[in-house]
Amino acid sequence: MLRSLFLAAAGSSRIGRLVESAPVSRGIVQRFVAGHSADEVLQVSRELADDGLAVSLDHLGEDTRTIEQAVAARDEYLSVVGRLKGAGLTPAVEVSVKLSALGQRMDEKLAYEHARAICAAAAEAGTTVTLDAEDHGSTDATLETLVELRRDFPSTGAALQAHLRRTEGDCRELSTAGSRVRLCKGAYAEPESVAFQSALDVDKSFVRCLNILMSGEGYPMVATHDPRLIAIAEDRARWFDRSTSEYEFQMLYGVRAEEQSRLVGSGHTVRVYLPYGAEWYGYVMRRLADRPANMAFLARAVTSRN
Ligand SMILES: Cc1cc2nc3c(=O)[nH]c(=O)nc-3n(C[C@H](O)[C@H](O)[C@H](O)COP(=O)(O)OP(=O)(O)OC[C@H]3O[C@@H](n4cnc5c(N)ncnc54)[C@H](O)[C@@H]3O)c2cc1C
């Protein structure tokens, strides 16, 4: 119930203004977001890389409504990717991209062209791009774009969401040689017709998808903080005879840092999803919705501020 409320709030600009103006928001944002500028995110990337972690940078922003915003999002990516090599941060640092930030909802071809330019810059810098998964209405378009991008940039990866009923099939399609798939539970509110609704059903789907990816020929990127699913992923890797260089774990910046270190200590690659930029609202609200304790904390802080 609280989760749905917060996911609905993630799309509301009125609630956005209220949360953005609440004094408590600053601390919450700092927990999940590396900063506003490229300088700040490169600095945090350096610190994470020094701790043995890999990184996927994300420039915050989604659902752009004008061509100018979409071009600005592309240019920010081109600029930050252009700085990675000189900073000695590749290949440890890759980038995550939301096609809706690049104009997908206005013009799919435009978003593809923008993503293509970012993939070319990433290849030049010696790193890769992963396409984030957004709401289910965009899944087909995103996976079609992935196929196009992989013709010239075969290491381009994509996120799949275990809560969608279609995802087992998508895992089968994508568990081929050279393919990189990030498996996550799914952070968007989705209707029963397309998505499992209970946590148990989502977890069961996650395990079925994990079995397909771990037994396939691609490179699974297991994006979860859930201790049970992490243990199952390690178990499946042993089962299917994968060494620790043949899959990776991914976690969000600000969540379960000790577990990230533990996994690195046991020889795993752990990639931290590291967002930066001013458009933090939708992203941070989804992080609050991930965990009821976070939500109750924010609700108390916002409602008691006067
Ligand atoms: C690297 C990465 C990339 C992702 N990319 C996408 C994407 O492209 N599209 C998409 O829809 N979703 C994406 N997600 C989000 C994902 O779908 C889930 O919403 C989120 O990861 C929470 O699910 P969980 O698997 O960690 O399990 P949960 O059951 O939600 O969490 C397990 C435990 O982890 C801890 N935890 C989890 N989240 C938080 C939090 N925010 N704050 C504090 N503790 C927390 C808690 O201890 C919790 O009990 C991504 C997640 C990761 C890690």
* Per-residue pLDDT reduced to its tens digit, 33-69: 999 999 999 999 999 999 999 999 999 999 999 999 9
What is the average pLDDT value for the chain, to the nearest integer?
Answer: 92
Distance CA 292, CA 6 (A): 10
Comparing 303 with 172, the larger pLDDT belongs to 172
> What pLDDT digit, counting tens, does each position of 275-304 carry?
999 999 889 889 988 887 776 666 666 665
* Model pLDDT, residue 289: 87
Structure tokens at 37: 């500028």
Give mean pLDDT, residues 2-23.
65
Angle at alpha carbon of residue 149, lines to 49 and 77, rounded to 5°: 45
Distance from Cα 295 to the centre of ligand 1, integer Å:
14
Q: What pLDDT, on a 0 to 100 scale, did the predictor assign at position 11?
A: 65
Q: How does residue 238 score in pLDDT terms, banded at 50, 70 and 90?
A: very high
Residue 184 in contact with ligand 1 by CB distance below 6 A: yes
Q: Which residues are catalytic?
A: 132, 182
Query: Which atom from ligand 1 is nearest to the alpha carbon of 287?
Result: 41
Q: Which ligand 1 atom minimizes the distance to the CA of 188?
A: 11
What is d(CA 79, CA 83) in angstroms, rounded to the nearest whole number? 7
d(CA 132, CA 34): 18
Q: Which DSSP category does 43 fall into?
A: H
- Exposed/middle/buried for residue 209 (C-beta within 10 Å: 0-12, 13-18, 19+): buried
Please work out whether the CB of residue 26 comes within 6 Å of at least one atom of ligand 1.
no
**Best substitution site from 29, 205, 225, 260 to test ligand 1's pocket, by max atoms within 8 Å of Cβ?**
225
Give the H or E element holding residue 271.
strand 270-276
Q: How far is the CA of 217 from the centre of ligand 1 (A)?
A: 25
Q: Which atom of ligand 1 is nearest to the CA of 229?
A: 25
Measured CA to CA, the distance from residue 48 to residue 42 in angstroms comes to 10
Asked whether residue 255 carries a pLDDT value surpassing 70, the answer given is yes
| Res. 306 pLDDT band, cuts 50 70 90 | very low
Query: What per-residue confidence (pLDDT) applies to 301?
Result: 63
Whether the CB of 162 sits within 6 Å of ligand 1: no
Q: 291: CA distance to ligand 1 center in Å? A: 9
**Lowest-pLDDT range, 8-17, 68-77, 150-159, 269-278?**
8-17
Interval between CA 6 and ligand 1 midpoint (Å): 15
Give the phi and the psi of residue 245 in degrees, each rounded to 5.
-85, 0
- Give the per-residue pLDDT at 127: 98
225 lines ligand 1 (CB under 6 A): yes
Tell whether the model's pLDDT for residue 121 goes beyond 60. Answer: yes
Atom of ligand 1 nearest to the CA of 159: 8
**Does ligand 1 come within 6 angstroms of the Cβ of 291?**
yes
Query: pLDDT exceeding 70 applies to what percent of the chain?
Result: 89
Q: Is the pLDDT of residue 22 over 70?
A: no
Query: Is the beta carbon of 223 within 6 A of some atom in ligand 1?
Result: yes
The pTM (predicted TM-score) of the whole model is 0.93
Q: How confident is the model at residue 27 (pLDDT cuts 50, 70, 90)?
A: confident
Distance 259 CA to ligand 1 centre (A): 13
pLDDT, residue 303, reads 63
